[in-house]
Homo-oligomer: A and B are copies of this chain.
Amino acid sequence: MAIRVTRKRPDAYQHGDLRRALVQAGLKLLGERGVAGLSLRAAAELAGVSHAAPYRHFRDKGALVAAIAEEGFTLLTGSMRREIEALGSRDVSAKLRAAGRGYVTFALRHPGYFRTIFGEKIWPDASEADPGRASLRAAGEEAFGVLRGIVESGMREGWLRSGDVDQVSLAAWSLVHGLSLLIIDGHLAGRVDTDAAVRGLTDGFGAMLERGIAT
C-alpha cells in the first residue's frame, strides 16, 4: 500500500488540500514508523509545509489522529467484509469465523492503524459535541455492525439461541480484539505469526464460542 502525500509546491503559498495531505502523511508515518513516529511536525514536513500550518485544519494532534482512525476503521470493516464474501456461504458460524479472521488479519497486517484506531487518545474526547468525532464514531459502529449483523440474523433465523444480541456480539468482538492485541503487542511470543496459525486460532475460538451460543 504505497501512500502518496501531496507536497505543497515550494513556490506556491497555499497547499490546496492540506487537510487531506496531512491525513495521508499520517497514514504513511504510521505504516513506516509506528505509533511513536506519528507526529504533527513530521506530517507537516511530509506535506512540505511549516510545523504550524496543520493548526489551520486540525484543532490539535488528537483531531488528526481521529481523522486517521476513521480511515483505519473503514479498512478494518473492509477486511472483515472481504473474508465473509470470499466465503460465499450463508452459514452463520462460518460467517462469524470469517469476520473474526478478517479482524485479526487486519490488526496483524496494520498494527499501527489498529493501535491508532483503538488507542486511548481519541475516544475520551468523543463525548464532547465534536462533529469530527461523530463521523469517527459512525465508522466504529459500522465495523462493530458487521459482527452484530451476523449475530442478529443468526438469532432471527434460529441458528443461534436467542438472547441479548449486543452481549453476544460484544463477546465475539472482545475475543478477536483481545487476541489481536495480545499478538501484536508480542505477548504470545511469536506463537501466532502465520496466516495459517491465525486461521487455526480464530477457528478454534469460533468453535468454542459457537458451541456456547448455538441452538
Q: Judge if A145 is at the interface, Cβ distance under 8 Å.
A: no
Residues 169-199 of A, flagged 1 when their CB comes within 8 A of B and 0 if not, give 0110111111111101111110000000000
B173 touches A175 (CB 8 A): no
Q: Judge if A165 is at the interface, Cβ distance under 8 Å.
A: no
- Stretch of A24-32, A83-91, A115-123 contacting B (4+ beta carbons < 8 Å): A115-123
B181 touches A177 (CB 8 A): yes
Closest B residue to A144 by CB, please name it: B187
Q: Judge if A201 is at the interface, Cβ distance under 8 Å.
A: yes
- Stretch of A7-15, A41-49, A202-210 contacting B (4+ beta carbons < 8 Å): A202-210
Tally A residues with Cβ within 8 Å of B. 42
Interface of A with B (CB < 8 Å)? 34-35, 115, 118-120, 123-124, 126-127, 140, 164, 167-168, 170-171, 173-182, 184-189, 201, 204-205, 207-213
A118-B185, A177-B178 known; A167 vs B201 contact (CB < 8 Å)? yes
Which secondary structure dominates chain A's binding surface?
helix
Of B181, B186, B213, the residue contacting A181 (CB under 8 A) is B181
Q: For A140, what are the chain B residues with a Cβ–Cβ distance below 8 Å? A: 187
13 contacts between A and B (CB under 8 A): A118-B182, A120-B185, A127-B186, A167-B201, A167-B204, A170-B188, A170-B201, A174-B182, A175-B175, A208-B209, A208-B213, A209-B209, A211-B213
Q: Give Cα distance in the complex from A208 to B167, angstroms.
A: 10
B123 touches A185 (CB 8 A): yes
A174 touches B205 (CB 8 A): yes
Q: Give Cα distance in the complex from A188 to B164, angstroms.
A: 16
Of B123, B178, B205, the residue contacting A186 (CB under 8 A) is B123
B171 touches A35 (CB 8 A): no
A207 touches B201 (CB 8 A): no
Q: Give Cα distance in the complex from A55 to B53, angstroms.
A: 36
